[in-house]
């Protein structure tokens, strides 16, 4: 009898779980609204450089990404877009992807924005973006020197 | 590795059946406790395993090997003609059996791909011995197909436009075939990705490229 009661309880629990699974959570009305965290993340991901030519800035971005071991997947000069990825060595099943956009500003500076993703999850660690911009700074500086 | 959790699970299932059949109600809770303990252990193990992988912050830091890799993948040419370098690179990659996938002339980028069999004698022999030793119970999966890609970037390195740099990176994605452990099938299609760091491959490519553009390739 005790066994039957336990099985009954388990069935009810299973049923409840099933019913819960059927109701998909609806996206809230503020799904696309900017949050404070997003604004903060955007400031980490954006930096302005003292470069006037977009092509020079793009080549700097590509060189910096290559130095960091990234594979350049796509580049679009008219839009100032570079997409790159690298394997999370020695773990050869994970991937880090990054999209960098380069946009000229009205004051003759260049705005660079980077979005990085680790296995489909956005990276929100400011240190990651600081490291990237430090490498980019070096790459653009070397190019200027030459 | 993929087969071991499967085996573990089936072992527990078998045990669960025996306990149910024995008909002791008190043992249900014992079983539940064991299951919980196993689940907690698995979770802890998984989290420890997760810690061992590289943290994302390190992906944007130059590693100790970066300069060596750059030197291996880069050559300088005494020419300002990037278009010529790109088309010669495309021709060399074609000679090596690659199909050109994408070219963006404005930023000097070229991507080429080739697919080849990834079968190796070593793996096949290993699989045969595993099968013999386990009397046919285990047939591990071997590498079947690979896609080798090359991404090449040309870049002027001086203001006068008389020198250009060519950097090429080779990498590959390998697909595994099927296998089995007793009656549990290991599905085909598992992927493995890796950069190619064999200096000989890069040396060969640049040797061919310098012949194609009639120029000497200088190292960094």
Q: Would you kindly state where each structural domain of chain B is located, as residue ranges?
A: 1-58, 65-220
Q: Does B193 touch chain A (CB under 8 A)?
A: yes
Residue with tokens 């790109």: B86
Q: Is A53 on the interface with B (CB under 8 A)?
A: no
A132 vs chain B: nearest CA distance in angstroms?
A: 5
Where do the domains of chain A lie? Answer: 27-145
Contacts of B175 (CB under 8 A, 6+ apart): B118, B143, B144, B145, B146, B188, B189, B190, B191
Binary contact (B155, A118; C-beta < 8 A)? no
> How far is B191 from B177, CA to CA, in rounded Å?
10
Provide ipTM, 2 decimals: 0.72
Q: What is the CA radius of gyration of chain B?
A: 26
Q: A96 and B63: CB-CB below 8 Å?
A: no
More confidently predicted of B1 and A117:
A117
- Torsion angles phi and psi, residue A61, rounded to 5: -60, -45
Q: Whole-angstrom Cα distance, residue A44 to residue B1?
A: 39
A115-134 mean pLDDT: 90
Chain B contact probe: residue of A6, A78, A82, A89 with most B CBs at under 10 A: A89
Region class of B150: left (phi > 0), else alpha (psi between -120 and 50), else beta: beta
Cα separation, B22 vs B24, whole angstroms: 6
pLDDT in tens, B95-142: 999 999 999 999 999 999 998 888 778 888 888 888 888 887 787 778
More confident residue, B218 or B7: B218
- What pLDDT, in 10s, does the model give residues B10-68? 333 333 333 333 444 455 566 666 665 665 555 545 444 444 556 677 788 888 888 99
Mutate to test the interface with A, among B60, B82, B167 (most CBs of A within 10 A): B60
Phi-psi domain of B103 (left: phi exceeds 0; alpha: psi -120 through 50; beta: other): beta
Superfamily of domain A27-145: Kinase associated domain 1, KA1 (3.30.310.80)
- Confidence (pLDDT) at B54: 62
- B157-214 pLDDT tens trace: 887 878 999 999 999 988 887 777 777 777 777 777 889 999 999 999 999 999 998 8
pLDDT at A100 over 90: yes
């Amino acid at each position: 009898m005790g066994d039957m009661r336990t099985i009954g309880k388990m069935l009810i629990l299973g049923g409840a779980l099933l019913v819960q699974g059927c109701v998909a959570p609806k996206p809230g009305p503020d799904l696309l609204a900017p949050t404070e965290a997003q604004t903060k993340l955007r400031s980490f991901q954006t930096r302005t450089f003292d470069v006037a030519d977009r092509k020079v800035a793009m080549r700097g971005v590509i060189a910096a990404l290559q130095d960091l071991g990234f594979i350049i997947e796509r580049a679009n000069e008219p839009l100032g877009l570079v997409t790159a990825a690298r394997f999370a060595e020695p773990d050869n099943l994970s991937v880090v992807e990054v999209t960098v956009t380069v946009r000229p500003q009205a004051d003759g500076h260049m705005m660079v924005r980077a979005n990085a993703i680790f296995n489909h999850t956005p990276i929100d660690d400011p240190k990651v973006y600081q490291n990237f911009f430090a490498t980019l700074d070096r790459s653009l500086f070397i190019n200027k020197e030459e | 590795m993929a087969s071991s959790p499967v085996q573990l699970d089936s072992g527990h299932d078998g045990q669960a059946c025996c306990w149910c059949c024995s008909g002791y109600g008190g043992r249900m809770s014992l079983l539940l406790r064991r299951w919980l303990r196993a689940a907690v252990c698995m979770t802890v193990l998984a989290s420890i395993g997760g810690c061992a992988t590289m943290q994302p912050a390190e992906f944007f830091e130059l590693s100790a090997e970066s300069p060596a890799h750059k030197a291996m993948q880069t050559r300088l040419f005494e020419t300002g003609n990037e278009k010529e370098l790109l088309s010669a690179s495309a021709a060399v990659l074609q000679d090596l059996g690659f199909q050109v996938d994408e070219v963006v002339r404005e930023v000097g980028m070229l991507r080429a791909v080739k697919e080849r069999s990834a079968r190796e004698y070593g793996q096949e022999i290993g699989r045969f011995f595993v099968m013999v030793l386990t009397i046919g119970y285990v047939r591990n999966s071997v590498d079947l197909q690979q896609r080798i890609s090359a991404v090449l970037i040309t870049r002027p390195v001086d203001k006068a436009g008389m020198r250009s740099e060519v950097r090429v990176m080779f990498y590959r994605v390998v697909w595994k075939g099927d296998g089995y452990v007793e009656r549990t099938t290991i599905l085909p299609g598992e992927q493995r990705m890796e950069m190619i760091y064999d200096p000989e491959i890069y040396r060969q490519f640049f040797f061919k490229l310098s012949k194609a553009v009639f120029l000497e390739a200088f190292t960094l």
